[in-house]
Amino acid sequence: MGAVLGVRAAILDGEIVHLGPDGMLRFFPLMRRRRPQHYYAFDLLWLNGRDLRGLPLIERRALLRRVVPFSPGPGAAA
């Protein structure tokens, strides 16, 4: 998918989370390595050899949306 989007290399900032049946984040199941686990990306720090940290967060997030398409995740309302 990276080649389709023109991404050769990127550094994302995010975290791995475990969602409970109600869609809420659960810490202890994550610590016990329960599945499913999901990666939530919330910042794009580096893209194709360019350091983006000097850009405003709103611009980095706009780029992030282009690199990683939004997915509402399990349990989200359609």
What's the pTM value of the predicted model, to 2 decimals?
Answer: 0.70
- Reduced to 3 states (helix: H, G, I; strand: E, B; else coil), residue 51 is strand
pLDDT at position 58, please? 96
The confidence band for 13, taking pLDDT boundaries of 50, 70 and 90, is very high
What are residue 54's DSSP bridge partners? none
As given in the structure block, the two tokens for residue 21 are: 């049946």
Range in 23-27, 60-64, 73-77 the model is least confident about: 73-77
Stretch (H or E) spanning 53 = none
pLDDT at position 59, please? 96
Q: Spell out the residues 6+ positions from residue 61 whose beta carbon is closer than 8 angstroms to its own.
A: 42, 43, 44
Query: For the residues of 12-50, what is the DSSP string, one character each?
Result: EEEEEEEB-TTS-B-HHHHHTT-S-EEEEEEEEEEETTE
CATH of domain 2-67: 3.30.470.30
Domain map (residue ranges) of the chain: 2-67
pLDDT at position 75, please? 54
Q: What is the mean pLDDT of residues 17-44?
A: 82
pLDDT at position 78, please? 41
